[in-house]
Amino acid sequence: MNDEYARSAVDWGEIYSKGFDEVAYPWGKPRYSCPVVYHRKDIVLIFPEIGGAGSNGVNILVALPANEMDKFESLFRKYLP
């Protein structure tokens, strides 16, 4: 997986969301919909915040084996305030 593939996945989600963002779920509208995680290990995708350019956050999709997820979480908490 490379940067071009990740950008392609984001573009696909925006173009072909299949109307999931318009469904009236009992818990409210989804903030974002995209393809299911590609079933490979060691994938971390970082998406811009749903709120747009003025937002300060990010959305991160992580698919790692359990032992690597623990390490990722530890580093994430260590280096981000």
Each of the 81 residues of the chain gets a pLDDT tens digit; together they read 688 887 787 777 677 666 666 777 777 776 666 655 556 667 777 777 766 667 777 777 777 888 888 888 888 888 876
pTM across the whole model:
0.42
- Cα–Cα distance for residue pair 43/72, rounded to 1 Å: 11
**pLDDT computed for residue 58 by the predictor:** 74
For residue 71 the two structure tokens come to 């390490």
**pLDDT computed for residue 16 by the predictor:** 66
Asked whether the beta carbons of 49 and 56 are under 8 A apart, the reply is yes
**pLDDT computed for residue 1 by the predictor:** 67
Q: Which amino acid is at 6?
A: A
DSSP 45: E
Q: Where are the domains of the chain?
A: 3-79
- Cα–Cα distance for residue pair 59/67, rounded to 1 Å: 22
**pLDDT computed for residue 51 by the predictor:** 66
- Cα–Cα distance for residue pair 21/7, rounded to 1 Å: 20
